[in-house]
Amino acid sequence: MGCNLVLTVGNAMMGDDGAGPYLADKLQAAPLPGWIHIDGGIAPENVVYKVRELQPARVVLVDAAEIGEKAGTLQVIPPETIAEMFIFSTHNMPLNFLIDELKTFVPEVIFVGVQPAIVAFSFPITEMVSGAMDYLYDHLEESKDSELLINRLAQWNITNAATDYLPAC
């Protein structure tokens, strides 16, 4: 027990719902010290047994979430609000059920949502969301403390709010 785990969720064939798989690919290609990752895909409940076997001290769950912000905004979503708010989902089981199950054996579960710009079949992930995932990847290693992670996400959101993404010709 004691590792940090990133559990990514999403569908790479559905535009920005591919945020989780995008981050999983980065973590697979260049693992971060002190972090393990599992790509939960569109059915993260199917990998709960793997998480249980690892017995991590902390799980950072990453998925696209309709949070009513600018595309690419990263937000830690408190578990008590997940069931109350509409969370975008293309998954088999609502994420609040998954989080509740994880919390039965993981001391700390953090849900990081990223605001999608487009979720539609056969669209690629947008620059806003891939940029947010790149930022999260770049700051995971130094953010083993949850408060520091939250502060890093706030810094990204300030930068992201000031950025205008223009479509390519």
Which pTM value belongs to this model?
Answer: 0.87
Give the whole-angstrom CA distance, residue 65 versus residue 33. Answer: 27
Q: Which residues pair with 109 in a beta bridge?
A: 59
CA 56 to mean position of chain CA atoms: 17
55: left (phi over 0), alpha (psi -120 to 50) or beta: left
Q: pLDDT tens-digit profile of 108-142?
A: 999 999 999 998 999 999 999 999 999 999 998 87
pLDDT above 60: residue 169: no
Sign (positive or negative) of CA dihedral 112, 102, 39, 119? negative
Q: pLDDT tens-digit profile of 14-43?
A: 999 999 999 999 999 999 998 999 999 999
Give the whole-angstrom CA distance, residue 87 versus residue 113. Answer: 9
Q: DSSP characters for 39-62?
A: E-TT-GGGGHHHHHHH--SEEEEE
CATH of the domain spanning 4-161: 3.40.50.1450
